[in-house]
């Protein structure tokens, strides 16, 4: 709490320019997002055909990507129904600037440029529009829970912070409710594990607290193998959620 307050004050006192290109943020809107207009425009979402399962843009495939087709063949399809993944984590941006996505995520996740949460909240809504979920499905947003101890250790969790920005939009026309109904129990860090081990590592480690929505839209910052999303979706479905969508800001 104190740490968060301190970084907010620091950001207020020492505005450090655009989180990606470092240019001065003179415009009110630029300061609001922590990103200059040029950078915001360069992070537009590619409106190409996407894999119906993992949401990554398709290159020469149709319908589902090769990686997801392999999962289908091995009958290890994930528990989620459909994902949208927005930005290539390590790729160049729309304008061809390499490394800018990494910088965008890094400034938020590690540099704690909190105002970027607003930008990402906008992107979550853009992704929602791309998922075209009907209102009658009663979708609600569900954050992917952080590993226990993360908040204590680093003072914040980037997804929880994004959830707060999304929560502020509750009640606006077309907005969704944010339901923090998942909790993560201690497990080994996923980073160094392969897909299968990741999956078993998370087995039973995601638990439901409270009421689950009929239709859930999970959101997370990065998708690698999809096993975290998978485990969250499985936990929700075991508790009665009928359909699970997912939004990942970055994919690698
Ligand atoms: Zn910029
Ligand atoms: Zn795929």
Return the pLDDT at 10.
57
Distance separating alpha carbons of residues 240 and 187, to the nearest angstrom: 24
| Secondary element (H or E) of residue 142 | strand 139-143
Count how many domains the chain has. Answer: 1
Return the pLDDT at 6.
67
Return the pLDDT at 236.
97
C-alpha 65 to ligand 2 mean position (Å): 4
C-alpha 63 to ligand 2 mean position (Å): 9
Spatial CB neighbours of 221, under 8 Å, sequence gap ≥ 6: 105, 109, 158, 159, 162, 248, 249, 250
Residue among 52, 49, 58 nearest 78 (CA): 52
The boundaries of the domain holding residue 157 are: 2-251
* 131: its two tokens: 């998922």
Spatial CB neighbours of 129, under 8 Å, sequence gap ≥ 6: none
Residue ranges of the chain with per-residue pLDDT less than 70: 1, 4, 6-16, 91-98
Alpha helix positions (H), 25-91: 28-33, 37-42, 66-73
Q: Which residues surround ligand 2, an ion (CB under 5 A)?
A: 51, 53-54, 65, 68
CB–CB of 91/105 below 8 Å? no
Return the pLDDT at 180.
95
């Amino acid at each position: 709490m104190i740490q968060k307050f301190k970084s907010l004050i620091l950001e207020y006192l020492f505005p450090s320019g655009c989180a990606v290109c470092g240019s001065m943020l003179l415009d009110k809107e630029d300061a609001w997002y922590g990103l200059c207009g040029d950078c915001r425009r360069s992070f537009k979402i590619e409106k190409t055909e996407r894999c119906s399962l993992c949401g990554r843009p398709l290159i020469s495939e149709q319908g589902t990507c090769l990686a997801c087709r392999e999962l289908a063949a091995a009958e290890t399809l994930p528990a989620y129904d459909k994902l949208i993944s927005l930005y290539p984590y390590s790729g160049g941006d729309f304008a061809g600037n390499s490394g800018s996505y990494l910088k965008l995520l890094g400034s938020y996740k590690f540099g704690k440029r909190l105002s970027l949460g607003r930008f990402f909240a906008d992107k979550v809504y853009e992704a929602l529009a791309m998922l075209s979920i009907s209102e009658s499905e009663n979708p609600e947003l569900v954050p992917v829970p952080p590993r226990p101890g993360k908040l204590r250790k680093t003072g914040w969790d980037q997804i929880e912070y994004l959830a707060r920005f999304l929560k502020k939009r509750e009640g606006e026309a077309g907005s969704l409710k944010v339901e923090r109904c998942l909790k993560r129990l201690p497990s080994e860090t996923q980073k160094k594990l392969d897909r299968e081990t990741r999956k078993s590592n998370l087995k039973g480690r995601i638990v439901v607290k409270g009421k689950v929505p009929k239709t859930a839209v999970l959101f997370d910052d990065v998708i690698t193998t999809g096993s975290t999303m998978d485990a969250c979706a499985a936990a929700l479905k075991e508790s009665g959620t009928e359909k699970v969508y997912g939004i990942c800001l970055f994919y690698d």
